Chains A and B, each alone.
Chain A
């Protein structure tokens, strides 16, 4: 089975710009969650998508938005980038209703640097 694939692996953007990060979920998974991991910190939950709809959101402003597509892949969009948005962005897929206790499958992440 294929794992979770994220693209790009690294990205440098200027403050105020917009960015789109992409994630292909593991085969057989129907739920995608996004996490932000600042340097030296644990990942923080941004939001989750299930059946193409947002299913829970963490403490992040509306300029963080997402999409899930019919093939369960997902995008994370961040508008009006700020320096503090510099972080590793992790995508995790899972199979809702039954797989929650097995944990998620994480991608290797996208390292975003805002200058």
Chain B
């Protein structure tokens, strides 16, 4: 079945540091890939997505590139801010499943210190 493996956290960085959160996936088809963010006490918000190989998703300074050859979708940001502190989830969906359900990783808690 489909699965997502995320870099284990928690991750603590200083403000303006470079961020990478690793994500690899296993899928039988050609999934779409997502990064979701969850702020304390809230639901999930879509951060960015990519639907096919070599696509780059980007939003709010975050980027991730769909790498089919390495089955990866690593999240990066060049200069993090305190407001980026949250839990980040990598996820995939496979349209062939008929219901496009999301399969999530376990999440990576990110804390940015001033």
- The answer, yes or no, to whether B68 is at the interface (CB within 8 Å) is no
Q: Which residues of B contact A100 (CB under 8 A)?
A: 32, 93, 95, 100
Q: Does A42 lie within 8 Å of B104, measured CB to CB?
A: yes
Q: Does A43 lie within 8 Å of B102, measured CB to CB?
A: yes
Q: How large is the interface on B (under 10, 10 to 19, 20 to 34, 35 or more residues)?
A: 20 to 34
Q: Does A33 lie within 8 Å of B104, measured CB to CB?
A: no
Q: Does A104 lie within 8 Å of B102, measured CB to CB?
A: yes
- The answer, yes or no, to whether A73 is at the interface (CB within 8 Å) is no
Q: Does B34 lie within 8 Å of A41, measured CB to CB?
A: no
Q: Does A108 lie within 8 Å of B43, measured CB to CB?
A: yes
Among candidates A33, A42, A90, residue contacting B43 with C-beta atoms closer than 8 Å: A90
Q: Which residues of A contact B51 (CB under 8 A)?
A: 101
Q: Does A48 lie within 8 Å of B104, measured CB to CB?
A: no
Q: Which residues of B contact A43 (CB under 8 A)?
A: 44, 89, 102, 104
Q: Which residues of A contact B34 (CB under 8 A)?
A: 103
**In residues 83-99 of chain B, which contact A (Cβ within 8 Å)?**
89, 91, 93, 95, 97-99
Q: Which 4 A-B pairs have CB atoms at the shortest separation, nearest pair first? A: A42-B104, A56-B99, A100-B100, A106-B43
